[in-house]
Amino acid sequence: MTFAFFNATFFDQAVLGITPILLAAMAGTLSERVGLFNIALEGEMLVGAFAAIAGSHFGGTLQTGILAAIAAGALFSGLLAVGSALLRGNDIVIGISLNLLAAGLTSFLLRALFGVSGTFSDSAMQGLPRLTLPGIASLPLLGPALGHQNALVYLSWMLVVVIAVFLNRTPWGLRLRGIGEQPGAAVALGADATRYRFIVTLIGGALCGLAGLQLSLGSLTLFSENMTAGRGWIAVAAVMLGRARPLYVTGACVLFGLSDALGLRLQGEGLPNQITDSAPYVVTLAALVIVGLRRRRLNAATA
Amino acid sequence: MTVTAIRTHLTRRLGPLLPILGAVAVGFGVCGLIALWVGLRPSLMFTELIKGAVEGPQFFETVARAVPLAGMTLAAAIPLRAGIVNLGADGQLALGGCAAAVVALYLPAPDLVRLGAALVAGMTIGALYAAVAAAGEIFAGVPLLLSTWLLTYPAKGLCGYLVRTPLRDPTTAWPSTARIAVGARLGALIPGTPINQGFLIVVLVAVAVIFIDRRSSIGFELRLRGLNERFARYGGVALDRQTLGVMLASGAIAGLIGAIMVLGSQFRYTDGALTAPQYSWSGTLAALLAGGEPLGSVIAALLFAALQTGGFAMERSVEIPRVLTMVLQSVIILFLAMRGAIWRRS
């Protein structure tokens, strides 16, 4: 392996890989903190990816695609909000059925609206344009990866900070965490648990819609069936690994994005893609096991 | 029995079915609306769907489809009974099918021995792969929900690689293994129909699962855990051992179904061919519909198999994409879960 192995393209791929997972993981972080286990991230992301393409195809502009992705993500997560936050159904069963519903619905609409199966793409469609951050973009190696990305990538970085500050430094964040940790006490102090859970779920849906937007209009302009390919589940794993602390969760997302890019890079070196495609999942599993073992040992030591 | 006694008896028996029937009705309603929205007549759609599921030779198609689907449903139902979710059945299915193909093709033994060994190999690989996830939870606390799902990708990737490179039959267009010899296949059960001897194996498995669930202490402990895990622990159920046992059983069934599909109907392992019909998806939903109760799960699997076969006919005759039946299945479970009818939150 030479120095050129980790070239500018590698880091660009990594940043592109991190963004959708990071956006979904922020949605998962908020959910986790308010006491909901959101495993519907995958489905919400897929719906967002489809809506982005449908919105920009039928609306004719990039803006309609963006709006459609956010709206569809939020709307779809509304099912989870109603079922889980309002009616108190089991969030795991609702999550599983929402993920399967998203896969079925997007496949159906792909055929019904566009008359194709597999992949839809439209040459007139615009992807999110890349913006250049002067100064950063010209740095060697990491420059293009950090300074020449689309607005959504920068937005995802800002969101981490915003959510961290919101959770830890604002009264609403305090109430939100209180509902997650001690719902009885938080409600006794006047926090409306149902309302918080409802709103958090909808915001999470919108974030997952953006994650989907990044997948379908971020670097490519196409939708293909099940294009989320487990990213929503990797986001769930990132939330677990980072214990729903925004900065730690981001760290986990960076790890997964790097392993994704590493897989692509090894494929470029001639390894079969059926094997290299497994890289992010294997790294995620390995990280879960290592952190799990460590936590067990620490718990045993303190007990 | 007095009239009142009969009535209470009926309510007790049928009461739990009412929300399920309601959810099925809502599912059909939602799909009808979707059909209307894309400009189709729902009534036409539903008649084609039902006719396509049960009319004439289509009935045998439904039965043939119900065999793997009922198997995958049981693979989902066993863990569900204990409140555990195995979302990795697709990986176990692919590995089981791939292993069965390898044994049936390359084991130097008489045909019948190869057939038996291939079935056992499929079960074993499926069980061991599921046990990896169980070990992750027991030793490192990695939730099965997450690990089982993530493990499907490397499994499918590995099988995809194997049939592309070392096991590849160069005469086929699509990456797959060579064809398995006629003697090492599961033969037709009813000649002239797609129903093969795998039907008998799945019936045996279903009877065994139902018996164990209802009549053995293993089944009792499973249900106990499903109802209240803390109580089960307090009552002396060895939860870790149970987790391992449940995953071994679930993975073995999924692997066995992979082997049956390869040995009974496809006669070779083709990349993606076992997972494309999405039996694990329908199986999970069918098991959820019945709350993991095995007999109910199998009945739900029959219903979903009919929907899938009907979907093919509907697509052919009125050109409605058959994935709509997948939407229908998910909506049914979603509605039930939202109403809190499945696994009410404690």
Choose the closest CB to B164 out of A117, A229, A272: A272
Q: Which residue of B has its CA nearest to A36?
A: B345
How many residues can be counted in chain A? Answer: 303
Q: State the pLDDT at residue B343.
A: 59
Q: State the pLDDT at residue B78.
A: 96
Smallest CA–CA distance, residue B266 to chain A, in Å, is 22
Instruction: Tell me what the pLDDT averaged over chain B comes to.
Output: 90
- Listed by start position, the domains of chain B span 18-338
Count of C-beta atoms within a 10 Å radius of residue A108 = 21
Residue in B146, B163, B322 to test binding to A, most A beta-carbons within 10 Å: B146
Q: Is the pLDDT of residue A67 over 50?
A: yes
| Pairs of CB atoms within 8 A across A/B | 145
Q: State the pLDDT at residue A288.
A: 94
* 8 Å CB contact between B87 and A96: yes
CA distance B189 to B175: 29
Q: Which two tokens stand for residue A242?
A: 């980072």
CA distance B256 to B278: 16
* 8 Å CB contact between B197 and B189: yes
CA distance A295 to B14: 47
CA distance A209 to A68: 8
Q: Which residue of A has its CA nearest to B325?
A: A104
Which residues pair with residue B176 across a beta bridge?
Answer: B270
Q: Which CATH class is domain B18-338?
A: mainly alpha
Mean pLDDT on B184-197:
88
Q: Which residues of A231-257 are buried (b: 16+ CB within 10 A; e: fewer)?
A: bbbbbbbbbbbbebbbeebbebbbbbb
Phi-psi region of A131 (alpha: psi -120 to 50; beta: other; left: phi over 0): beta
* Interchain contact, B146 vs A96, CB within 8 Å: no
pLDDT in tens, A68-114: 999 999 999 999 999 988 888 888 999 999 999 999 999 999 998 88
pLDDT in tens, B251-309: 999 999 999 999 999 999 999 999 988 899 999 999 998 888 999 999 999 999 999 99
For A199, residues 6+ apart whose C-beta sits below 8 A from its C-beta are: none
Contact residues, chain A, for B164 at CB < 8 Å: 272, 274
* Interchain contact, B157 vs A277, CB within 8 Å: yes
Instruction: Tell me what the pLDDT averaged over chain A comes to.
Output: 90
CA distance A196 to A81: 10
Q: Which pLDDT band, with edges at 50, 70 and 90, does B346 fall under? A: very low
pLDDT in tens, A131-151: 888 777 777 777 777 877 888
Q: State the pLDDT at residue B135.
A: 96
Mean pLDDT on B73-78:
96
Smallest CA–CA distance, residue B323 to chain A, in Å, is 6
Q: Which residue blocks in chain B are alpha helix, DSSP H?
A: 3-14, 17-37, 42-54, 58-81, 89-106, 111-140, 144-164, 198-215, 217-227, 229-234, 239-261, 279-289, 294-318, 324-338
CA distance B109 to B178: 17
Q: Which pLDDT band, with edges at 50, 70 and 90, does A300 fall under? A: confident
Strands A119-121 and A148-150: unpaired
Q: Is the pLDDT of residue A52 over 80?
A: yes
* 8 Å CB contact between A290 and A296: no
Q: Which residue of B has its CA nearest to A234?
A: B150
Nearest to A274 by CA among B163, B81, B300, B66: B163
Mean pLDDT on B158-177:
90
Which residue is it, tokens 């918080």? A196
Q: pTM of the full predicted structure?
A: 0.91
* 8 Å CB contact between A70 and A23: no
Give me the sign of the Cα torsion angle B188, B193, B199, B200: negative
Upper half-sphere CA count for residue B335 (Cβ side, 13 Å): 19
Nearest to A47 by CA among A98, A116, A93, A122: A98
Smallest CA–CA distance, residue A161 to chain B, in Å, is 27
Choose the closest CB to B330 out of A100, A288, A290: A100
